[in-house]
Structure formats: structure tokens, C-alpha cells
Amino acid sequence: MSTVDLETYVPHIDHQYDPRDPEVALYVDEVSVRFGGVQAVSAATIACLAGQVTGLIGPNGAGKTTTFNVITGLEAPTSGKVFLGNEDVSGLTPYKRARKGLARTFQRLEVFGTLTARDNILAAAEFRRGWSKDKSNPRAVADQIVERVGLQHVQHERVDMLPTGLARLVELGRGLATHPRVLLLDEPASGLDMAESEALGDLLIDLAQEGIAVLVVEHDVDLVMRVCDRIHVLDFGRIISVGFPKDVQADPAVQAAYLGAED
Amino acid sequence: MDQLLQLTVVGLVVGCVYALTATGLVVTYTTSGIFNFAHGAIGMLGAFSYWQLTVKWHWPVLLALPVVLLVLAPLFGATIERIVMRPLHGASVDVTLVITLGLLLFFLGAANYFWDQGQTRVLPELLASWKPVDIGGVVVTWGQIIIVLAAVGVAIGLRFLFSTTRIGIAMRGVVDDPDLCAMSGASPARIQQLSWAIGAGLAALAGILVAPKVGMSALQLTLLVINGYAAALFGRLKSLPRTAVGGLLLGLLVSYYPVYVAPHLPFSTTFGQLEKAVPMIFLGVLLLFLPSARLRTATTVGRVAPTVPGLRQSLAGGGVMIVLAIALASALSSANLLIAGGMFISALSLLSLVLLTGYSGQTSLCVLTFFGLGAFAMAHSGTSPLGLVWGGLLAAAAGMLVALVTARLRGLYLALATFAFAKGMDVGFFNFKLGSGQSLQLKRFELPLIDTSSEKTFFFLTVVVFVVAAIGVLAVRRGRWGRQLTALNDSPAACATLGVNTTITKVVVFTASAGIAGVAGAMFGAQQEIITPSQFDVLGSLALLLALRIGGINTITGALFGAFTIGLFPEMPQILGHFGVTLPDKVQLTFLLTGIAAISIGRDPDGLGGQVSKLGLRLRQQFGSSSTPAAPSYEEATLVHG
Amino acid sequence: MAAPALELKGISAGYGRIEVLHDVSLSVPAGTVYALLGPNGAGKTTTMLVASGYVRPTAGCIHVAGSHVNRVAPENLAKAGVCRIPEGRGIFPNLTVNENLRMFTYSSPFSTSEVQEKSYARFPRLGERRNQLAGTMSGGEQQMLAMSRALVADPGILLLDEISMGLAPKIVSELYELVGQLAQEGISILLVEQFARTALAVSDYAAVMTGGRIAMVGQPADVADFVNEAYLGGAA
């Protein structure tokens, strides 16, 4: 038996980017989070490039949502840093990070349930008008986004009455209304049917082409493989594989993470 | 030196009482997750039943004491758990707050009903006939010794219970994970019931020990527990040893304050008179040092937001109300106009809570403090109508201060902080500035062309002010800022990740809400032409919040319903008197009825107003189904869920 | 032949308006290990919750050892021998290890000392930490403690929900050793697992769930290939 302590062991991954590279929009630098005796995230490093969709996948409990919480500032890491557009934002509160162009959706929905779908997006557009220099009309922005994420048919319904899949689209639209440079999506396709899922994939590719860095946590393998430019695999809070979709899929470490070790 | 020793002994004894009270609170809170605001009221009932048995019925102490402490009080606590608390399983802090506050008022009203507070009662100290002991030159009574022994005994007993007995370990386990407890075969409901029984027993013990000193006043005994809040908070509402230490520290501080602390402060004469506010200041300081709460994530437990009327609708509603007011003004007598006007003034102050609690989800137990500040400003403005403005501004400034200090707090802690503020202002400002038991005369403001001294005109004016404020509040709700408040209420975490500085939003809404309450207070002062400190005490604030709950927390109709309910309660004896029914004094009745109503309706954010509109909707569906649109509106969905 | 330890027949269930399980049927013969596999959100945990009485089915029947138990409360099911080790949180974090074991024996015929002996013999690391608060232990140790409940309960049917979640492979294999041992003692086990290979190694039967339905049932070897596809897509 080897003497390596598996609970703290960090496999060597060749990270090809640096937080100061100009094309890096978001850089998670060796972030660790510990809850009591449980190490939720261990020295995870993730780079997201502007204009690309980056995937973050891994089995249940691997630490994906915790990583999102650290990036957005809702949770403080035990160690490690977060860079937004080459700037260290580790010490900033969530709202200040948002004002620097970071938006997200939540796996456990955080919609404004008592408002209508359109008002959720309108509220976000109004928030942005309040803190940014761009004073474009929030109502116009909201109408445009409602159409873009495909919510016209339910825009006047209260969000807590919508099915989960559509409520996730509301969260996505709400994030877009703040004109983010980096967009974090936590399981955006869960609760969507095939056609809706396909449309979401197209939308993500479009958003990346506009220059947004999209980081997506998703369990729908087909969707991830189709839209992602690069994928990071998180397991026991560690990044165990980084690369192009095909390479990640073929990586024995990834298969072991999903299926258990081969005897 | 002798004085120091004397004060230390007194401080320790008082501290033991605080520790006992707080321990009961913490045991119940950790196990059941419900902070029992009625804890003091239970202790008060314990003291009164003990008085009834020993003094009135001449039972021997050795029989009466165990009967109250080991039988009556625990049974009472267990019954409360079974009837009131168990159905609340999984309810939000907001709901449990309303229910336990309702219990507080209800018990207070009930005590007043059974034991006429006009009568003087004396409860002798335990072992009063034994000769006091001389400890190093300080004379200590056996009553004091018993208090210390009781506190030590309870501490040892609980320590034993929680670390060695199976049921005690289960009580700790249920805090961690009630479901897992159930899987292990330990019924969480039973364990929580036991914690209520223990809590009630400890409350009664504290009540009986302290009553000889404080006196048999239902109000004093009930509110004494507030000092225990500070001790409980010192233990972060979790740790019993820290709670005990907190109690002792507070006891010593209160005891040392007039001799060793106050004289060294600037303005020592002023501060010297603030002795009673010391526990509140202690509580406030503790709250400041609490670690920052994590941003709350969305709660989806059956919250409902009724449709907001549009501008045209609200203007029409306001118009109808003013027409009705004109009709009423000519029909009612001057005395009844005063009462009716008072209701609209209450409704105006409830509007401030609709904005603060109904829309943005912040809890406040100090609305009457802002109200009182408004009245105070009016009293110093002579006959100038600017008094309304000064009243609003003074209250708004106080509101901003409270919000800045409590910016990091929410839920229960915010409730406790505002409670402490209300109580502190009560003893440290109103009773001080207006004179305890005294009153302040003021003059009604004068307006050009309008004769404000006529009750008819003033009533009309009151209604107009309410209508304008209501239309304003509704306009806010429909607009950008209203969306922001609703968003903040629905999910603070999402707001923050969308770039909203939630602290500033909270401060702004708190300030605006306090301002409205201040204007209402100024109107009140002008209408009454006399104000007394007791009109602005913390119990009144509780009654107002509960009234709004009864009416419906997030609607204008709710504010009106609430104000009318609370306004009608005191008149019940007179109204029912016409039918030959006699009822007790009005104040007690207000508490009693408000308490009952809040307990029964506190779970429903829609309140009475909501019930009525739901009924209307149901009737429409029943009889006019053809006219309803095919697509289900969200009101219908609400019906299914509610 | 003895009645199956657990049988679900045509179960549909969900939360509020959203149906999660559609017509799910499975049968765990007495004394066997049954693995329930599938990707996230397939309805595996909900199936466990239905089997232990925490979620009421909207259609179908649940049989435990041949008795119909659709309307039995969870605590009574627990007493009747249905033991569920919940996903990720099967311990009391603010009690010591000893006290946790004492809670596990709350209504069991075993004495606390007997159980402590048994658990510490099985997991010596727990014995070393007997007076430590459970929440301060590592994830693996916490899961070992949670598994001790199975030793205590002497269950008629043991429901294991993702015991490997977030744990290092070494610990997972240690936990599965125990699962194998329990199976050899004749305890019937239904286990939900992400790690298909690990789970299949100890099971007698396996089923794959996707989208709230049972997609396939069979011998462990047959199921293995199917699973690969369901998790990682065709290329793997």
C-alpha cells in the first residue's frame, strides 16, 4: 500500500493558463474549502477563457456548487484566490464581484418567486442600471432577454408557479440582464425536455461567441460534450482532469471517478 | 470595600435569576428551534399560581413548590408544545415569532383577567423567618441563598441530564438531526415536548424566586425575562455554561452600574438615571459582536403576494374612502370620531410595517418607538404643522441609526435587537423625557383656511393623510424600488449576486418606514393633545405587529383590517355591554384578544384581508365560472397551495 | 420461498406537482444485495425515501417482508426493520462518537457497550476517536460511524444511499468490505450508488434508473456496459 494520504492528495494537472493571461476571464487559483472535518474542495484550479464555454463536471458531492459559491463570494474559501479578468477579487463581497461582471444561476433555485418571469429579469436590469454607467432602458433590455431565453409564453406568470426548468431559464435571463463578462450556470438543463435542452445549448454557444466566458455545471452528458470547449472534472473536491471533451471522456481517471475503480 | 462586597452579592443573586431565566429559554430554543418570547409570561403565571396556592389557599410551601415547579408548569409547557407549537413544524422564524408573541400577550391578558392588577399582592420570600447570615460583613438573606443554590442546582442537574442520560443525549441529538432521531426510534416531537416542559419549569422557578423582590406585577414579571435575553445571547443561544456566565456578568454589571460606572461617565446625571436600560445596552452590544449572518437563500414556504392594485385602482379606492369619511364624519359623535380617527392613525403606522415587514421581509418590534418619537417632535413644535415633518424626520433618523447598527442581523436577531431598542427607549427616553406615569400636553397644529380644532375636520384630515400615504406605498410597490424590496425578500443571495448592496437597501427601507411611523405619531399627538410614556411601550409595538398579521402583512387592506381590529378590541366591553354581556377592563382585553387572534391566524401571511378576498374569489369561481378566463391565474394556484 | 425483503410495485411518487418516479417496480429477494444505479436526478434517492416511508407514493404498493406498508409512518417502519443510511448525513455532528452509538441503540435490543465493542472492533479508527465530536472527524470516519448503525439495527432490509459520496477510493473500498460482510451475514441490502463498478462487485442483482424509470434490470455483468453509456455517453 502506498503511503500517500488519499484525502489530501492532489494529482498533478498541467494547468496551461495563468491568472494574468489576457484571455483568462475567470481564474480559480488553488481554492480549498473545509467544513468541519470534511474537505469539500481541495486546491481546485479552474481557468475560464473569454469566448469559450467551460464545463465543470463530476459526481454528486464533488464540490461543484461549493466552488460556485466561492467564486461568487457567498462562501469564504479556507485558502486560495479568485481572479476576475486578471484582478484578484478574493476579498470582495458578492455584490462587488457582480458589479465587476460576474453572474450566476443556482442549482437550488433562487428566483424572486413572488414576481413574474419578466419582472425577475426587469429587476436585474434595473439593478444594473443602478450601479453601472450604462443607462439603457431596463424595460427594453428585459423584453429582449425574455425573447432570447424563450420565455415569452410565460413572462407574466409568477415564477414560483413555473416548472423548475423554466425557472432555471428565468435565472439565466436574470444573469444576462446584468451584462456579465463571466456567467456561471449550475445545472441549467435539469428539468428541461430534449428540445428545450437543445435550444439552451445553442444559446450557450451564442453567448460564448459574443465574448462571454461561460462556466457550466451540468449532468446532461450529451449537452456538455456538445457545447463545451474545455472541461474540468472535479472529484472529491479535486480537479482530476482538464482538457477537450473527447480527451476527458476517454481519461481513465474520469471513468474511475464516475464508475468506481477497476479492480 | 464593604460596599463592593455588598454590591457583588446583590449582583450575583440577580445574575443567578437572569441565568435561570435564560437557561430555560436556551433549552427550549436549541431543542425545538423556537425562541419562546412568552417565556417570561410563563414564569409570571408560575409565580401567580404559586401565590394563589400559598397565600390565598394557605398551602404549605413544601407542597405548593413541587406542585407548581414539577407538575403545573411542566404540564403547561408540554401542553403549549402539543397544541400550539407542534403544528408549526418547519414554519419560518417569522411565523414562530408571531405565535410566541401572541402567546405573550394572551398570557398577560389572561393573568390580568384572573388576578386583578388593581389589587396589591405580596409574595413572601422563601425562608423569610430564618435569620439572615453574615458573610464577611454582608448580610445575606436565606431567600438570596436559595436563589444561588437553585441556580447551581439547575446547572448541575442539566449538565447531568445532557451528558449522561439517554433522553438528554437525545435532546442534543434532535438539535442536529430530527429525522435521524426518528430513524433511531427516538420521537423528535416527544423530545421537544420535554424541552418545553423543562423550559416552563425553569421559567416558573425564576418567576417564584424573583417575585418577592420585583413584586406581584404581571407586567413586570413578564418583561423581566427580557434581561434574560441578554444572558441567552451571551451564550449565542446555544451554550448553557456561557449563558450562565452571561447572566452573572449582567447581574454584576447592573449592580455595579449606579455606583462604579455611571458617575464616571460624561453627563453622569443623565446616565445615572439610565440604570434600567443597562441590560438593553448589554444586549445591544452583544448583538453588535455577533458574527455576520450568511446571506439567506430563498425560502419558498407558501409565501403569497397578492395582486397590487394599479394607480387608477388605488386612486379610486382612495376616493371611495374619502367619500365614506365625509359620510362618517357627519354621522359620528366627537368622541367616536376620536376613536375612528385613532384607527386611521394606527392604520398609518401599520403602513410603515407593510413596507418594512410585508414587502421587504425585515422584522421590527419597535414601531411604536418611532411613533412615539414623532409624537414627541410634535409636542415640541407648538401649533406649527411642520411638527408632522419634524416628527417624520426625527423618527426616520432614529430608524436609520437602528438600521445601520443592525444591518448585519436578520430574523430572530433583528427581532431581539429592535425589541431591545424599544425597551431601552421606553425606560431610557420616554419615561425619562416625559416623566414616568406623567403626561405631556401638546397643542393641535393649525392650518390656514382649515379649522383643525373641529373633530370632524381633523378626522377628515387624518383619512386624507392615510389615503395619500397608502397610494404612495402602493406606487412604491409597483415601481423599481418595490421590485427591489420584493426581490430582497425572496432571495437576498440572488440580489447580492446581481450587484445589489443589500445593506443599503435595508437601511433605506428601515428609514422610510420609521419616517411613516413618525408622521403617524405626530398625527396621534396632535389628535390626542396629550401623550404619556406608556402609549409607546414595547408591548404596544407587539400588539401592532400582531394586528397587522391578523389583517394581512403585505396589503393596505391588511393595515386597515389590523387597525380596525385592534381599535375595536378596547371598545368591546362597551359594545357588548349593550347586549348585557360584561367584560373586563379594556387594556387586558386588547392583549387577550390580540393574542388569541395572532395565535390562530399568525401562520397565514394573508391574514383576514386575504381570507376575505379568497372567499370572494371562491364565490366568483362557484357562481360566475363562465366569466373567469380560461388560463389559471396565480391567485387560483395560491388557493390550491394555501 | 420466502417473501422478498422489499418489493416496490408500480410506484409513482413526487414532490408537490412534480412527479419524479413513474411506475417503478423492483424486488429485493431476502438475503441478497440489489444495486440501484443511474445518473444524477434519475430518482434513486426518491426511491429510497419511498421505501423508508418518508415520501408517500401517489400510486403503487410497497411490501416489506410480504406486508403491505404504504401508510406506515417512517419511525414505525424503522422499528419494523427498515434501516436507511441517508445520503451524506447519517450522524449527529454535535454528539461524540460514543453518544452517537448510544443514540443508534435508542430503541434497539442491544446494549450500548455491546454495540460500541462491535463497532470499534470493525472500525478501530472510531474507537480511537470515541470521545471526539462526530462532526470534527473526516468524511470517511463520519461515514463509518453512519454505517455502524447498520451493525446496531440488525435490519430486515438495509437501504444504503450513496455511501461513497465525496469519499476517497481507499475509504470507499473499506466501506464496501463491510457491505459485503453484512451481505454474507444474510442481511438484505438495497444500495444506491454512483460508483457502478464498486457497487456491482458486491451485488446479486442490479437495476439502472434514468428519468424516474427503471431502464434495465439484470445480473451485475449485463448491467455494467449499459451503465457506462448512461453516465458518460456513447464514446466511453
Instruction: Provide the residue ranges of all domains of chain C, joining segments of one domain with +.
Output: 6-81+155-231, 92-147
Q: What is the pLDDT of residue B284?
A: 85
DSSP H helical ranges for chain C: 44-51, 74-79, 97-104, 112-122, 124-128, 139-153, 169-184, 196-202, 220-232
Q: What is the pLDDT of residue C14?
A: 81
Q: Do C75 and B170 touch (CB under 8 A)?
A: no
- Which chain B residues contact residue C104 at CB under 8 A? 184
Mutate to test the interface with A, among C143, C197, C203, C223 (most CBs of A within 10 A): C197
- Which chain C residues contact residue A7 at CB under 8 A? 138-140, 168, 171
Give mean pLDDT, residues C60-74. 88
CB pairs < 8 Å spanning A and B: 105
Spatial contact of B240 and B86, defined as CB atoms under 8 Å apart: no
- Which chain A residues contact residue B480 at CB under 8 A? 126, 138
Q: Do A37 and C138 touch (CB under 8 A)?
A: yes
Residues in chain C: 236
Query: Between C135, C168, C236, which is nearest A6 by CB?
Result: C168
Owner of C-alpha cell 402583512: B553
Q: What CA–CA distance (Å, rounded) separates B554 from B548?
A: 9
- In chain B, domain spans: 2-114+137-289, 317-641
Q: Do B491 and A119 touch (CB under 8 A)?
A: no
Condensed to tens digits (0 to 9), the pLDDT of residues C17-45 reads 667 888 999 999 998 999 998 877 788 88
What sign does the dihedral C128-C132-C134-C140 (CA atoms) show?
A: negative
**CA nearest neighbour of B141 among B1, B46, B3, B6:** B6
Query: Between A103, A131, A161, which is nearest B497 by CB?
Result: A103
Q: Tell me the longest C-alpha to C-alpha distance in chain B.
A: 89
B181 touches chain C (CB under 8 A): yes
What sign does the dihedral A195-A200-A203-A204 (CA atoms) show?
A: negative
- Which chain A residues contact residue B501 at CB under 8 A? 95
Q: Do B494 and A93 touch (CB under 8 A)?
A: no
Condensed to tens digits (0 to 9), the pLDDT of residues B466-490 reads 999 999 999 999 999 999 999 998 8
Q: What CA–CA distance (Å, rounded) separates A146 from A173?
A: 7
CA nearest to A250 within chain C: C236
CATH number listed for the domain at residues C6-81+155-231: 3.40.50.300
pTM reported for the whole predicted model:
0.86
For chain A, the residues whose C-beta falls within 8 A of a C-beta of chain B are 72-74, 93-95, 97-99, 102-104, 106, 108-115, 119-120, 122-124, 126-128, 130-131, 138, 157-158, 160-161, 171, 174-175, 177-178
**CA nearest neighbour of B508 among B403, B368, B429:** B403
Residue type (1 letter), B588: Q
Which residues in chain B show pLDDT less than 50? 300-302, 625-642
Q: What CA–CA distance (Å, rounded) separates B513 from B495?
A: 21
Q: Do C107 and B186 touch (CB under 8 A)?
A: yes
Owner of C-alpha cell 423492483: C26
A65 touches chain C (CB under 8 A): no
Q: What CA–CA distance (Å, rounded) separates B171 from B188?
A: 8
Determine the distance from the C-alpha atom of residue B586 to the mean position of all C-alpha atoms in its chain, rounded to a whole number.
19
Half-sphere exposure of residue A258: CA atoms within 13 angstroms, side-chain side: 25
Which 8-state DSSP code applies to residue A73?
Answer: T
CA nearest to B186 within chain C: C106
What sign does the dihedral B423-B522-B361-B464 (CA atoms) show?
A: positive
- Which residue would you say has higher pLDDT here, B32 or A263? B32
Condensed to tens digits (0 to 9), the pLDDT of residues A89-110 reads 999 999 999 999 999 999 888 9
Q: Which of A3-7, A122-126, A235-239, B169-173 shows the highest mean pLDDT?
A: A122-126
Condensed to tens digits (0 to 9), the pLDDT of residues A235-245 reads 888 898 999 99
CA nearest to A34 within chain C: C138
Q: Do B179 and C103 touch (CB under 8 A)?
A: no
A254 touches chain C (CB under 8 A): yes
- The answer to which of A60-74, B374-388, B591-605, C123-137 has the lowest mean pLDDT is B591-605
CATH number listed for the domain at residues B2-114+137-289: 1.10.3470
Owner of C-alpha cell 435539469: A190
What sign does the dihedral A160-A162-A168-A170 (CA atoms) show?
A: negative
CA nearest to A139 within chain B: B480
Q: Do A237 and C166 touch (CB under 8 A)?
A: yes
Does A189 have pLDDT greater than 80? yes
Q: What is the pLDDT of residue C215?
A: 87
- Residue B138's SS3 state is strand
Grid cell digits, residue B161: 441530564
B55 touches chain C (CB under 8 A): no
Q: Do B487 and A123 touch (CB under 8 A)?
A: yes
Does C233 have pLDDT greater than 80? no
Q: What CA–CA distance (Å, rounded) separates B32 from B49?
A: 26
- Residue B350's SS3 state is helix
Spatial contact of B543 and B343, defined as CB atoms under 8 Å apart: no
Around Cβ B267, how many Cβ atoms within 10 Å?
Answer: 9
What is the rounded (10 degree) CA torsion for B51, B52, B57, B59? -50
Q: What is the pLDDT of residue B304?
A: 55
The alpha carbon of residue C72 is apart from the nearest alpha carbon of chain A, in Å, by 30
- Which chain B residues contact residue A128 at CB under 8 A? 498-499
B496 touches chain A (CB under 8 A): yes
CA nearest to C90 within chain B: B180
- Residue B376's SS3 state is helix
What is the rounded (10 degree) CA torsion for A70, A73, A77, A80? 80
Q: What CA–CA distance (Å, rounded) separates A19 from A39?
A: 24
Around Cβ A153, how many Cβ atoms within 10 Å?
Answer: 10
Name subunits touching C (3+ CB pairs < 8 A).
A, B
Query: Between A36, A249, A254, which is nearest C93 by CB?
Result: A36
The alpha carbon of residue A62 is apart from the nearest alpha carbon of chain B, in Å, by 21
Around Cβ B542, how many Cβ atoms within 10 Å?
Answer: 28
Mutate to test the interface with A, among B296, B480, B498 (most CBs of A within 10 A): B498
